[in-house]
């Protein structure tokens, strides 16, 4: 899976905001705000096509959480991004 290229990441008033442009603006209504961990996951998805395992490994490297917690958090993030149409599989 990977991030849709039509989404721009901007920092606005201390928040990480995803802004749809082009075709995505016609499909995604509104903007999305990301947490710090969500922002990190988005960075990775924007750089390359990756697996859930790769995303979980990044969370484990950068945050002090269990594999179970990291897996649940990544699942929730990916589910929300898929529902919003912000990532491609």
User: Using one digit for the tens of pLDDT, what is the confidence trace for 18-65?
Assistant: 999 998 998 888 888 999 999 999 999 999 999 999 999 999 999 999
pLDDT reported for residue 31: 86
Distance between CA atoms of residues 63 and 27, nearest Å: 33
pLDDT at 29: 82
Tell me, what's the pLDDT at 56? 98
At 32 the pLDDT is: 87
> What pLDDT does 89 receive?
83
User: Could you tell me where the beta strands, DSSP code E, fall in 24-72?
Assistant: 32-34
Give me the residue label for tokens 């991004």: 81
The confidence score (pLDDT) of residue 3 equals 94
């Amino acid at each position: 899976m990977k991030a849709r290229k039509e989404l721009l990441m901007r920092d606005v008033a201390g928040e990480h905001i995803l802004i749809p442009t082009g075709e995505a603006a016609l499909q995604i209504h509104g903007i999305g705000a990301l947490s710090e961990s969500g922002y990190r996951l988005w960075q990775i998805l924007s750089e390359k096509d990756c697996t859930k395992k790769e995303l979980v490994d990044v969370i484990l490297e950068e945050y002090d959480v269990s594999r179970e917690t990291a897996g649940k958090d990544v699942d929730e993030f990916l589910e929300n991004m898929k529902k919003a149409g912000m990532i491609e599989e």
